[in-house]
Amino acid sequence: MYRCLPHKTSVLLKILKFMPDKTLSKTYSSTDVECNNCGYIDQGVYCSNCGGHLKKQRISMSHLLSSIVDFFSNFEDKYVHTFVSLTTRPINFICHYLNGVRDKYYIPFKYFFLNLSINFFIYTYFNISTINENGFETEASQLLQLKSEAVFDAIINNYGSFFSLMIIPLYVLATSVLFRKSTHNMAERATAITFLFGHLMILQAVLNLISAVFNPFYELQKYLVMGGEIAIIFMLSLRFFKASIMDSIWKSIIIAVFVFMSMQYILVGTQTILQLYYGE
């Protein structure tokens, strides 16, 4: 009985030799298409591996127009959702965003820079900084302006957004000292302040437009913006960091003074460096 086993085994191997190996080879039909995105062979309209289109098609004008419409509709939906949520329930929105509800909202830095760009465009286009100066004073100041001052003004005009961005790490640094027991990490603190200060840029842009139409409003506008910044810091202290009202008041004052003085030192330091560079 056992002597027959080798013979039967050899016969079985010969049979298996001529059988198609379905695990090693795959037959493709005429309807199979190779996906341009991942190289997977599939059938139908969409790739079951990556989800991309299987049909090879050139970009047409209708495809281009539809992609533009999709971009702006997606932009509008996310921006509107973020704007409305920050206007009606800012702290609840930030907490939900930190907890993972993010798909239908703008990311914080994108929201901040977009609103900052809008505000900065209005500020420079209408020359808001020179509203209270007459033409003679402006021309005289330009003639007497030092080279370092001219370069400093150019830096502020071209890279003003960078200096505005410095508020975020300064705020995170201040809250890390004053709210050490908070469970929020540095990235979450930066997210919260970025959203709210980005939202403040919209208010500042509206106030700049009012100042451009009604010039005497400019003096009041500066105090309104400063009050908005302090209100944001107080609201974060009270509701985001869960501090008491008294702690929120004095800590908000310290944070506001620290950020304001730090920004002043940064600007003065930049101007001093330029003066030394130009020997003035």
All residues at 6 or more sequence positions from 47 whose CB lies less than 8 Å from its CB, including other chains: 35, 37, 38, 40, 53, 54
Q: Is residue 51 part of a domain?
A: no
Global pTM reads 0.68
Both 96 and 197 in one domain: the answer is yes
Both 10 and 115 in one domain: the answer is no
**pLDDT at residue number 35:** 80
Both 108 and 214 in one domain: the answer is yes
Both 212 and 133 in one domain: the answer is yes
Q: Is residue 206 part of a domain?
A: yes
Both 13 and 124 in one domain: the answer is no
Nearest 5°: the CA angle 140, 142, 148 is 140
**pLDDT at residue number 25:** 45
Q: Is residue 195 part of a domain?
A: yes
Model confidence band, residue 278 (pLDDT cutoffs 50, 70, 90) = low
Number of domains in the chain: 2
Question: If residue 135 lies in a helix (H) or strand (E), which one and from where to where?
Answer: helix 135-144
Model confidence band, residue 160 (pLDDT cutoffs 50, 70, 90) = low
| Longest CA span, the chain | 119
Give the up-direction half-sphere exposure of residue 171: CA atoms within 13 A in the CB hemisphere: 25
**pLDDT at residue number 187:** 93
Q: What is the DSSP letter of 177?
A: H
Both 182 and 269 in one domain: the answer is yes
CA distance 208 to 246: 33
Both 77 and 38 in one domain: the answer is no
201: left (phi over 0), alpha (psi -120 to 50) or beta: alpha
Nearest 5°: the CA angle 147, 152, 153 is 100
Q: How many residues does the chain have?
A: 280
Query: 9 lies in which domain range?
Result: 2-42
Both 10 and 91 in one domain: the answer is no
CA distance 280 to 265: 19
Beta strands at 33-34 and 41-42: parallel, antiparallel or unpaired: antiparallel
Both 28 and 138 in one domain: the answer is no
Q: Is residue 179 part of a domain?
A: yes
Is the confidence at residue 165, as pLDDT, over 90? no
Is the confidence at residue 172, as pLDDT, over 70? yes
Ranges 62-71, 119-128, 144-153, 262-271: which has the least confidence:
144-153
For residue 267, which of 170, 156, 146 has the smallest C-alpha distance?
Answer: 156
Which residues does residue 34 pair with via DSSP β-bridges, in sequence order? 41
CA distance 27 to 43: 13
For the record, the structure tokens of 91 come out as 């702290």
**pLDDT at residue number 128:** 78
